[in-house]
Amino acid sequence: MKQDVKEKVIRTTAQLITQYGIRHVRVDEIAQQLGISKRTLYELFHDKTELVNCCLERIKCQQHSRISSYLKKESRHTLQNIFWLMNEFIGVLYSVDTEFLAELNRKTDYAQKYQETKHFWTDHLEALLQAGQREEYFLRDTDMSLFSGRMMASMQASRVEGRARSEQETFCRIMLRGLSTPKGIEWIDTYSRSHRVFETGGDSSSSSRKRLDTSY
């Protein structure tokens, strides 16, 4: 019973902080929305920081499960997987409040979870880019670890600054094309003409156009 209540608190809080930002969601508001006392909430979590970190862990695990499931589901072209992953990342950026993203970046209380989440995305992108290098779609002399980290950091900063989603999509396409060999450029250009690059079918999903789903 206690665990059920705890899970409900985490789920509800995750929805609130991603929608309104962490500092704008007060503990008493969380308790009121759930119909429990603040005392009960503090019996479950030492403080708001612990509660928020539990929410961040839940979000990270959900993202990990979704991406791992997609990439393992069936064999796809490496570049298609890269575009899908970037679509997911953009979707996450635009499903949460910019204040939430800014707080994660500047608050030391959430530094560990922020770093874990950042590495989760960059590690996946780096692995796919390296696979593209081996398949001769990308230039061999590029440090994919450095590239993936800088690219995703730039995208998050752009989101916090209020840049439009369409700008992020264009940025991704240009950066990946600039990284490519003639073989890679040909694939990207052909694919871009026949697809909406960042909407590659049902699997690229509604998550890119709705608020982060923290309910499952």
pLDDT in tens, 27-42: 999 999 999 999 999 9
Q: Is 128 part of any domain?
A: yes
Q: How far apart are CA 15 and CA 127, in angstroms?
A: 30
**55 belongs to a structural domain:** no
Query: What burial letters (b/e) apply to 41-54, b meaning 16+ CB within 10 Å?
Result: beebbeebeebbeb
**In-domain check, residue 49:** no
Domain containing residue 140: 61-209
| CB distance 155 to 90 below 8 Å | yes
| N residues, the chain | 216
CA–CA distances in Å: residue 13 to residues 24, 39, 153: 11, 16, 26
**Number of domains comprising the chain:** 1
**Confidence (pLDDT) at 198:** 57
- 165-210 confidence digits (pLDDT tens): 999 999 999 999 999 999 999 999 998 887 765 554 444 344 444 4
